Amino acid sequence: LAVGGPPAELAARRRAIAPMPWTWLRQVHGARVVVVGEPGQWAGADADAAVTAVPGAALAVHTADCVPVVLAGDGVVGVAHAGWRGLAAGVVEATAAALDEIGPAGEIRATIGPCIRVECYAFGPDDLDRVAAVLGDGVRGTTSTGAPALDLTAAVGAALERAGVTEVADDGSCTACGRQWFSHRARRDRGRQAAVAWLEPV
Ligand SMILES: [Zn+2]
C-alpha cells in the first residue's frame, strides 16, 4: 500500500479494503493533524495524523517500523503515524485532542499496529535522552543483544496516558523480526503497510 506504487494497482488494493475516498498523508514526522470534513479531503497533505466525524471517509497512515495508532471515540475516528520524532513532537496527544474538538469523543480507545519493538530497535543515546525528556524514562530499553534501545510502544503508551486514553489494544507484532511485515530498518523494504480507519457509511 505504499503511495508511490503503480496507481491502478494501488487504487484496486485500496478499494478492496475500503471502497471509499482515502485520505493519505505525506508523512513528515511532525504533529500536524488534519480534520477531514468530506471523504478524501486533505489527500496528500503534509501531516502525520487525520481525524474525521464523517462516515465514508477512509483515513490512512503508512508505516514500515513506525507505530500506526488508531483512535476511536463516539462518532469519531483518527489515525496517527508515530515515529520517535512525531512522538517527541506530541502527535498522539494532538490527535486525541483533535478528536475531542470535532466530537466530543467521549471515551477514546486506541489500537496499535505492527511496529518495530524494543528488542530490535537499537537507538543512539542522545536521541534516547531526547525522547525520555518528553515521555519519561519508561521509553528506555535494551535490544535482544543488550544495546540501548527505544521502546516505541512504551512511548506511545505514555503519550496516550497523557491524553487520557487508557484502553489500548496491541497485538505485539514486530515489523523487524516478523517477516510478514515491511521493515525499513531491518530490510530496507520499500513496501508499506497501512492502518486504515473509517466510520461506516450510513
Ligand atoms: Zn523484533
- Taking only the tens of pLDDT, the chain with its 202 residues reads 988 888 999 999 999 999 999 999 999 999 999 999 999 999 999 999 999 999 999 999 999 999 999 999 999 999 999 999 999 999 999 999 999 999 999 999 999 999 999 999 999 999 999 999 999 999 999 999 999 999 999 999 999 999 999 899 999 999 999 989 999 999 999 999 999 999 998 8
Q: What is the largest CA-CA distance in the chain?
A: 51
Give the pLDDT confidence score for residue 4 in this predicted structure.
83
pTM recorded for the entire structure: 0.96
CA 46–ligand 1 middle distance (angstroms): 29
CA 43–ligand 1 middle distance (angstroms): 32
What is the DSSP-derived secondary structure letter of residue 54? -
Could you tell me how many residues make up the chain? 202
CA 113–ligand 1 middle distance (angstroms): 14
With 0-12 CB in 10 A as exposed, 13-18 as middle and 19+ as buried, what is 100? middle
Buried b (16+ CB within 10 A) or exposed e, 45-76: bebbbbbbbbebbbbbbbbbbbbbbbbbbebb
CA 82–ligand 1 middle distance (angstroms): 17
